[in-house]
A and B are shown apart, each in its own frame.
Chain A
């Protein structure tokens, strides 16, 4: 099998995410019914909408976990209909779970995810430092971390495996005020470094302050585009 292009090779000049009249189906139910969305590199876009509107489906589609039934969707120039396997290495999805091995330490988790893409020890340490888990938390088993510390560890894993598109589903859920502030600072810093971030959240005020743009998802359709800040 030929290896997938390395994440660093997946750089495009145009928009990072382009959805054009995309339809996705969950079972028999059309969970996305004609979504239009264009996201540029370094943007943080807030997806807002009621429960069941299709926000999580939109994130899962962008992660390459759901097939595109109709329309055109590209991530980093890769077509989601035909190149889902090539999209996945460049995308990180952080949902209600963190994707961590709870018996392993922070360092071991970040090391594992980084090594899967051939990251060096320096890169892995830099990813931990960037998310603030390189010092006193590094050797603590993830089972013993607070919810906010787990989130930061999970984000460090995304950085270590060089994910360029971050898809975050309710990232503030379960965090205390300090954890939320830390997370916001982390996301702003990541976007400043070139990560493209889609955030689905009910915390409109907080996520709205963080986002460069907001998009409304209702009944599987992206119905309103917010203004850029």
Chain B
């Protein structure tokens, strides 16, 4: 079996486990929603919310990422399945790619719902000024979501695999992951600000941040795939 086919099997398996357990539906989505509502209460001034909404979306996504990653690796360690995959000689790159793909799908669903929440709670809307109206803003938004999601999924899977082998992985994971995803948090926030026109930002300013997100995703995608085997073998 090729690495890619095994990666798809692992991704499908992870998503099937999620469909059965409904942890994302019953715990992660409510957690992210509560985070958004809590910020809305804490920053109860419309002009403040307008300004910080893009950052809040990505903060809620980042916190939710930690729960998703913990869950992604707890299903592997609950009954020793990760060890079984190592013994079975499954390519570590396939494990990394498969788990990152499943994580990315769950993150994308979460981000779309958080954007919707931002529209409802914070009154955000897509930028409609400029020659091509909202089209470019929507393209920027979608590109940002995809590239940021790939980066977050790659970092989360890499450090999730590393932390899974240690006692106290629940506390170790945030310590490792949060500093590493800071560039995504900054880049994605700036790009979404451009897409929604926060504080006069224009769409064209957002593309440089998308470039940063893409480089980050590629670097952690390739680096993670190469480093994952030695990490889980140790």
Contact = CB atoms under 8 A, between A and B. Distances in A.
A104 B17 CA distance: 6
A115 B94 CA distance: 13
B105 interface: no
B16 A116 contact: no
A92 interface: yes
Given A63-B87, A116-B1, A103 B79 contact: no
Contacts, number: 79
Interface string A1-26: 10110000000000000000000000
A95 B20 contact: no
B27 to A, nearest CB: 14
B79 A101 contact: yes
A24 to B, nearest CB: 15
A220 interface: no
B88 A113 contact: yes
Contacts of B83: 65, 93, 95, 97, 99
Contacts of B3: 1
Contact of A1 (B16, B87, B89, B91): B91
Interface stretch (A83-91, A128-136, A180-188): A83-91
B86 A98 contact: no
Contacts of B136: none
A12 to B, nearest CB: 18
A9 B75 CA distance: 32
A174 interface: no
A24 B204 CA distance: 60
B79 A99 contact: yes
A116 B2 CA distance: 9
**Best-surrounded residue of B1, B20, B86, B88 (most CB of chain A within 10 A):** B88
A64 interface: yes
B90 interface: yes
Interface in B10-62: 13, 16-17, 20-21
B186 interface: no
B80 A103 contact: no
- Main secondary structure on chain A at its contact with chain B? loop
Contact of A99 (B6, B16, B21, B84): B84
A163 B87 CA distance: 10
Given A1-B3, A112-B13, A117-B1, A65 B79 contact: no
Given A63-B87, A100-B81, A102-B79, A118 B13 contact: no
Interface residues of A, number: 37
Interface string B79-110: 11101111111110000000000000000000
Interface in A106-148: 108, 112-113, 115-118, 141-142
A95 B86 CA distance: 13
A158 to B, nearest CB: 9
A124 to B, nearest CB: 13
A161 interface: yes
Interface string B217-233: 00000000000000000
A112 B9 contact: yes
A115 B12 CA distance: 12
A203 to B, nearest CB: 21
30 contacts: A1-B91, A65-B86, A65-B87, A88-B88, A88-B89, A89-B88, A92-B87, A92-B88, A93-B83, A95-B83, A99-B79, A100-B81, A101-B13, A101-B17, A101-B81, A102-B75, A102-B78, A103-B20, A103-B21, A104-B16, A104-B20, A108-B16, A112-B9, A115-B1, A115-B9, A116-B6, A118-B1, A142-B79, A161-B88, A163-B88
Interface of A: 1, 3-4, 63-65, 85-89, 91-93, 95-104, 108, 112-113, 115-118, 141-142, 150, 157, 161, 163
Closest 3 CB pairs of A and B: A99-B84, A88-B89, A97-B80
Interface of B: 1-3, 6, 9, 13, 16-17, 20-21, 75, 78-81, 83-91
Given A101-B17, A101-B75, A112-B13, 15 more contacts: A4-B89, A64-B89, A65-B83, A91-B87, A92-B87, A93-B84, A97-B79, A99-B81, A100-B79, A101-B13, A101-B81, A102-B75, A103-B75, A104-B20, A113-B84
